Amino acid sequence: MPVPVLSDVPAALRFLSRLPVRLPSEPREDGPPDLDRLGPALPLAGAVLGLIAAAVLLLAHAAGLGDFLAATLAVTVLVAVTGALHEDGLSDVADALGGWTVERRLAIMKDSRVGAFGVCALILAFALRLGALTELLAVGPAVAAAGLVAAVGVSRLAGLWMLAVLPFARTDGLARSAGVPSATSRWRALGVGLLIAFGLIVHPIGLIGLLVASAFAVVIFLGVVRLARAQFGGQTGDVAGAATLLVEIAFLLGLLIVAH
């Protein structure tokens, strides 16, 4: 793996999480994220976040807390280190779907308050993640840990590719300030993500598991793209966050089907 990709992981972690990691050679303060440069490091940074959650999953399971509590603690840690970044995006997108016009939907999306649609979306998202991890733990702790790391790593490709396949829905916002990553950056990121997933999934679950999980992830991503185009006229940071979380869930569900 090229050294520049590895050196960009700390910056990618700061973008995707609240972890205060910084190399001595990096500036003390971050400007707007340069996703064209950071793109290939995003799945690696996601895998690091997944590794933290997977370590909690394995420790809780080994301590005898049971599958459900171990899964709950792992998801809790993941939400904490990411600052609920993607959960916030999902809830905002869900609430915005209640608007009658594109302008009204975009205004609702910017509102910091969470409505009924957002609450329901979060409940379902947590239930699906906890259910998938609990069932994967029943298959085997190593399978669940590998699946979690792969899912978190691969899902961080969703926001990157969303920037390329849809126009900006707003003239301002984080998504626009990050810029549109080049095709080279996106394909390198995809290669890194697939390499991570291949290394983690093929041995414990098999190539079919990786293919099914990837297919689930792609279908869900394309579904979010179609929804965002129809309902918002393009993508926003919240749409990218929602896509990331939904792809993560879809990948876990795909693995679970084959693992069983």
HEC assignment per residue over 112-137 = CCCCHHHHHHHHHHHHHHHHHHHHHH
Give 24 or 72, the one with higher predicted confidence: 72
Share of the chain above pLDDT 90, in %: 71
Vertex 243: Cα angle to 260 and 257 (nearest 5)? 5
Q: Give the Cα separation of 243 and 174 in Å (integer).
A: 16
Instruction: For residue 111, count other CB atoms closer than 10 A to its CB.
Output: 12
Assess contact for 155 and 43: CB atoms under 8 A: no
Give 44 or 115, the one with higher predicted confidence: 44
Instruction: Give the CA dihedral 7, 11, 12, 16, nearest 10 degrees.
Output: 160
Rg (the chain; Cα; Å): 18
Inform me whether the pLDDT recorded for 216 exceeds 70: yes
pLDDT tens-digit series, residues 80-109: 999 999 999 999 999 999 888 998 999 999
* CA 109, chain centre distance (Å): 19
Q: Give the Cα separation of 204 and 141 in Å (integer).
A: 11
For position 47, what pLDDT does the model report?
A: 96
pLDDT band at 20 (very low <50, low <70, confident <90, very high): confident
pTM greater than 0.85? yes
The two structure tokens encoding residue 65: 């807390």
For position 6, what pLDDT does the model report?
A: 77
The most confident of 179-183, 200-204, 218-222, by mean pLDDT: 218-222
pLDDT tens-digit series, residues 74-85: 999 999 999 999
How far are the Cα atoms of 23, 37, 121, 139, 142 from residue 191, in angstroms, in the given order? 25, 15, 31, 28, 24
The b/e string for 45-77 (b: 16+ C-beta within 10 A; e otherwise) is bbbbbbebbbebbbebbeeeeebeebbbbbbeb
Cβ-proximal residues to 239 (8 Å cutoff; 6+ apart), any chain? 89, 93, 162, 166, 169, 175, 224, 228, 232
